Amino acid sequence: MKLKLKIWRQKNSTSKGSIVNYNVDNISPDMSFLEMLDVLNSTLIKNDESPVSFDHDCREGICGSCSLYINGQAHGPDRAITTCQLHMRKFKDGDTIYIEPFRATSFPVIKDLVVDRSAFDRIQHAGGYISVNTSGNTQDANSIPINKTDADSAFDAATCIGCGACVATCKNSSAMLFVGAKVSQYALLPQGKVEAADRVVKMIDQMDLEGFGNCSNTGACEVECPKGISLDNIARMNRELMKSKVL
């Protein structure tokens, strides 16, 4: 396949970036999207030009580091996948493809397509954990019965890989799907319930502090989330916060 790429290039976090046009040839439909960029980069390196920077690690949809906004959609046109799981067969010969970094005021661009998502880490640090004060008499987790629906919902929420597609796709750059998933994952389990009230307040505080927007319930995040995290998690987070304030 022959493709025309329109890629966001930006030298560093302070410089002004712009869209730059590239042409690539000999792209196999079986390549992954990142492999297509590898092909482009090897040509750029050969020509003594600086390669396009983009985040990636596992390349199998589990680490959440790949983060491209492709043709106006987070992780590209396919559903329930990360950018590294997107294949070139989703495109046609001669297509023009826009490739931009995930955009949000709280996700500043570091270089080209790489953005700083450490705001997510700070939200996690604020409360996305369970303090286990075992002092030598740890209880076997399996000895605490948990009903199946709660266990399933908690597990579903826990599949969030923190990629940030929800923020990138939201017109308000809201992080509520991510935070909703992290809050839910613990709030549903007895081990997490102990600190639930405290956790939801701290995580939302940090989320607001980082400058993420409000949720308008457009539902775009849920559609673009590679892990299918449900909007129900945002509703649960809202309930958890109201509970923590009223009770």
Angstrom distance (rounded) from CA 125 to CA 210: 13
Residue type, 59: R
Q: Which amino acid is residue 145, in one-letter code?
A: P
What mask, x for binding ligand FES by CB under 6 A, covers residues 65 to 84? xx---------------xxx
One-letter identity of residue 124: Q
| Cα separation, 76 vs 73, whole angstroms | 5
30 touches 122 (CB < 8 A) = no
Determine, following the binding rule CB under 6 A, whether residue 61 of this chain makes contact with ligand FES: yes
Q: Should residue 58 be labelled a site residue for ligand FES when binding is judged by CB under 6 A? A: yes
State the nearest-atom distance from the C-beta of 41 to ligand SF4, in Å: 25
* Count of other CB atoms within 10 angstroms of residue 23: 10
Coil, strand or helix at 100: strand
| Stretch of residues binding ligand SF4 (CB under 6 A), selected from 16-24, 127-135, 183-191, 219-227 | 219-227
Interacting residues with ligand SF4 between 158 and 217 (CB under 6 A) = 160-166, 177-178, 181
CB crowding 85-108: b at 16 or more within 10 Å, else e:
bbbbeebeeeeebbbbbbbbebbe
Q: Which of 49, 79, 217, 243 binds ligand HEM (CB under 6 A)?
A: 217
What residues form DSSP beta bridges with 70? 73, 99
Give the binding range for another protein (CB under 8 A) out of 103-111, 120-128, 149-157, 188-196. Answer: 103-111
Tell me the three state secondary structure of residue 8.
strand
Report, in angstroms and rounded to the nearest whole number, the Rg of the chain calculated over CA atoms.
Answer: 20
Query: How distant is the alpha carbon of residue 131 from its chain centre?
Result: 25
CA distance 87 to 99: 15
Q: State the nearest-atom distance from the C-beta of 34 to another protein, in Å.
A: 20
Size of the site for ligand SF4 (CB under 6 A): 14
190: contact with another protein by CB under 8 A: no
Binding residues for ligand HEM restricted to 177-216, rule: CB under 6 A: 216
Contact status: 242 vs another protein (CB under 8 A): yes
Tokens describing residue 217: 């319930």
Nearer to ligand FES, 54 or 236 (CB): 54
CB of 47 to ligand HEM, least distance (A): 47
Q: Does 215 bind another protein (CB under 8 A)?
A: yes
Binding site for another protein (CB under 8 A): 6, 8, 19, 69, 71-73, 77, 98, 100, 103-106, 169-174, 176, 201, 204-205, 207-208, 211-220, 223-224, 231-232, 234-239, 241-242, 245
Q: Contact residues for ligand FES (CB under 6 A)?
A: 56-59, 61-66, 82-84
Q: Which residues bind ligand SF4 (CB under 6 A)?
A: 160-166, 177-178, 181, 225-227, 229
